[in-house]
C-alpha cells in the first residue's frame, strides 16, 4: 500500500527536480494526446520543442519565442508577488487589455505626434496606470467590502474584453481605415512603435522590461523587507499580523503591482507585435501567465525559464498547426496538462512516498 509521509523538511533537490519531472511527464502525456489525434507523437514533439530553437528555420522562430515570452514573464513576475502572499489576481488578462487601451489611447489621441522621447514614456506610464487602476477595483473592494478578489478580477476580464471590442469599432477606430474595425497601426507610427531594440532578435522594450522585472523581483524576494513580508503573509497570515504586516496594504500593493505590470505588458504588445487595438487583441496571456508563474515556482528566475518554455509551446504549436495540421486547441490542452503535472509532482517536495501500511493514529 503506497502512502504519503510528510518530510521533516522540504526537499531541496526535488524543489529543482520537480519542474523538470513535470515537463518530462507532460511530454509523455502529450505524445499520447497527439497519438490519439492521429499525429506521429515523436514528430509532433520535435516540431513543438526542437525545431523552433535548433531547426532549419530557427532564425525565423527564435525572435517569435522572445516576443511571446516577454509579456508572459512580465505578467507572471507581477502575479508571483500576490500568489506568494495568498492574494489571487486571476484577472491579469483584463489589466493587460486595459493597459493596452490606455497606452495606445494616449498615442492615438495626439496622432500624428513625432517627439518619441516624450510620447513613448507617456504611453508606458499610461499603460501601467491603466492596469494599476483596473486592478485597484478588486483590491479596494476586497479591502473595504471583503469581496472575493478572484471573482471580481475575473469578471473584470469579461468587461475589459467587451470594452476593447467597443473601442476598436468606436472611439479608437482608424479614421482612415475605410470603416474596418481596429485602430491605426502603432507599428507605422514612429514615435509610438515598440520595435526590436536589436533588429531581428524580437528583443523589444517589453522584453527588456521583463528582464529588468525579473532582476528586481529577485532582489525583492531575497534581500528586501517587502519580499519577506509577502512570503510571511502567504505562509502564516497570523504571524504576519503579529509581525506588523498590514494585510490591507499588502493586498493593495500586490494587486496594484501585478496590475501595473500586466498593463505594461499590454502596452508593449499593442505598440509592438500586435500593433492595433482590435477585438481579437486579447490572447489569454493573462491566463497563461498564471501557469508560467506556477511553472516557475513563483521564483523570478524560474518564471523567466518557464516563460520561455511556454512561449516555445505556443510558437512550436503554431508550427505544428501549420505543418502537421494539429488543432490549436491541442496546445491549450497540452498547457493545461503541463500545469496539472507540475502541481502533481510538487507533492514530492514536501512529502515522500512510503510503501507499507500506516499505523493507526
Binding stretches for another protein (CB under 8 A): 4-6, 37, 88, 90, 137, 141, 145-148, 150-152, 154-156, 158-159, 162-163, 165-166, 170, 287, 290-291, 294, 327, 329-337, 339-340, 343-344, 346-347, 350-351, 358, 361
State phi, psi for 61 to the nearest 5 degrees.
-80, -35
- Which is nearer to another protein, 185 or 333 (by Cβ)? 333
Q: In whole angstroms, how close is the CB of 284 to another protein at the nearest point?
A: 9
- Which is nearer to another protein, 31 or 159 (by Cβ)? 159
Q: In whole angstroms, how close is the CB of 102 to another protein at the nearest point?
A: 18
Asked if 33 and 338 count as a contact pair (C-beta separation under 8 A), the reply is no
Q: CA-CA distance, 11 to 95, in Å (whole number)?
A: 36
Q: CA-CA distance, 180 to 207, in Å (whole number)?
A: 31
Q: In whole angstroms, how close is the CB of 289 to another protein at the nearest point?
A: 11
Q: In whole angstroms, how close is the CB of 298 to another protein at the nearest point?
A: 10
Q: CA-CA distance, 82 to 348, in Å (whole number)?
A: 24
Radius of gyration of the chain (CA): 22
Q: CA-CA distance, 260 to 102, in Å (whole number)?
A: 12
* Spatial CB neighbours of 147, under 8 Å, sequence gap ≥ 6: 138, 141
Q: CA-CA distance, 339 to 122, in Å (whole number)?
A: 37
- Which is nearer to another protein, 5 or 40 (by Cβ)? 5
Strand partners, 355: 2
- Which is nearer to another protein, 117 or 145 (by Cβ)? 145
Q: In whole angstroms, how close is the CB of 3 to another protein at the nearest point?
A: 9
* Spatial CB neighbours of 250, under 8 Å, sequence gap ≥ 6: 85, 87, 229, 230, 233
Q: In whole angstroms, how close is the CB of 223 to another protein at the nearest point?
A: 26
- Which is nearer to another protein, 156 or 217 (by Cβ)? 156
The three-point CA angle 78-83-85 to 5° equals: 110
Q: In whole angstroms, how close is the CB of 342 to another protein at the nearest point?
A: 9
Q: CA-CA distance, 283 to 331, in Å (whole number)?
A: 14
- Which is nearer to another protein, 269 or 346 (by Cβ)? 346
- Which is nearer to another protein, 219 or 358 (by Cβ)? 358
List of E strands, the chain: 2-6, 351-355
Q: In Å, how far from its chain's centre is CA 83?
A: 13
ω before 337 within 30° of 0 (cis)?
A: no
Q: In whole angstroms, how close is the CB of 245 to another protein at the nearest point?
A: 21
Grid coordinates belonging to 157: 476580464
- Which is nearer to another protein, 59 or 361 (by Cβ)? 361
- Which is nearer to another protein, 64 or 346 (by Cβ)? 346
Q: CA-CA distance, 304 to 298, in Å (whole number)?
A: 10
Q: CA-CA distance, 232 to 238, in Å (whole number)?
A: 9
Q: In whole angstroms, how close is the CB of 144 to another protein at the nearest point?
A: 9
Amino acid at each position: 500500500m503506497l502512502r504519503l509521509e510528510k518530510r521533516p523538511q522540504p526537499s531541496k533537490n526535488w524543489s529543482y527536480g520537480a519542474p523538470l519531472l513535470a515537463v518530462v511527464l507532460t511530454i509523455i502525456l502529450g505524445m499520447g494526446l497527439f497519438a490519439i489525434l492521429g499525429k506521429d507523437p515523436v514528430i509532433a514533439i520535435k516540431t513543438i520543442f526542437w525545431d523552433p530553437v535548433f531547426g532549419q528555420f530557427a532564425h525565423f522562430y527564435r525572435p517569435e519565442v522572445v516576443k511571446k515570452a516577454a509579456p508572459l514573464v512580465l505578467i507572471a513576475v507581477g502575479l508571483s508577488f500576490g500568489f506568494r502572499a495568498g492574494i489571487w489576481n486571476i484577472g491579469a488578462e483584463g489589466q493587460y487589455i486595459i493597459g493596452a487601451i490606455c497606452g495606445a489611447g494616449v498615442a492615438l489621441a495626439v496622432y500624428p505626434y513625432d517627439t518619441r522621447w516624450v510620447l513613448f514614456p507617456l504611453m508606458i506610464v499610461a499603460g501601467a496606470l491603466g492596469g494599476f487602476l483596473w486592478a485597484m477595483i478588486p483590491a479596494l473592494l476586497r479591502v473595504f467590502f471583503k469581496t472575493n478578489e478572484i471573482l471580481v478580477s475575473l469578471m473584470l476580464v469579461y468587461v475589459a474584453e467587451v470594452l476593447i471590442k467597443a473601442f476598436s469599432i468606436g472611439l479608437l477606430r482608424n479614421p482612415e481605415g475605410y470603416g474596418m474595425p481596429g485602430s491605426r497601426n502603432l507599428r507605422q507610427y514612429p514615435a509610438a512603435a515598440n520595435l526590436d531594440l536589436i533588429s531581428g532578435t524580437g528583443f523589444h522594450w517589453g522584453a527588456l522590461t521583463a528582464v529588468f522585472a525579473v532582476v528586481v523581483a529577485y532582489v525583492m524576494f531575497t534581500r528586501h523587507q517587502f519580499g519577506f513580508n509577502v512570503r510571511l503573509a502567504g505562509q502564516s497570515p497570523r504571524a504576519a499580523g503579529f509581525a506588523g504586516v498590514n494585510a490591507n496594504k499588502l493586498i493593495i500593493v500586490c494587486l496594484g503591482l501585478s496590475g501595473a505590470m500586466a498593463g505594461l505588458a499590454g502596452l508593449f504588445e499593442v505598440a509592438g507585435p500586435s500593433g492595433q487595438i482590435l477585438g481579437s487583441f486579447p490572447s489569454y496571456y493573462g491566463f497563461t501567465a498564471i501557469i508560467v508563474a506556477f511553472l516557475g515556482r513563483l521564483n523570478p528566475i524560474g518564471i523567466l525559464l518557464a516563460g520561455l518554455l511556454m512561449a516555445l509551446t505556443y510558437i512550436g504549436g503554431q508550427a505544428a498547426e501549420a505543418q502537421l495540421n494539429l488543432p490549436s486547441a491541442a496546445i491549450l490542452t497540452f498547457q493545461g496538462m503541463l500545469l496539472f503535472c507540475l502541481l502533481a509532482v510538487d507533492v514530492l517536495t514536501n512529502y515522500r512516498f512510503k510503501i507499507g501500511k500506516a499505523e493507526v493514529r
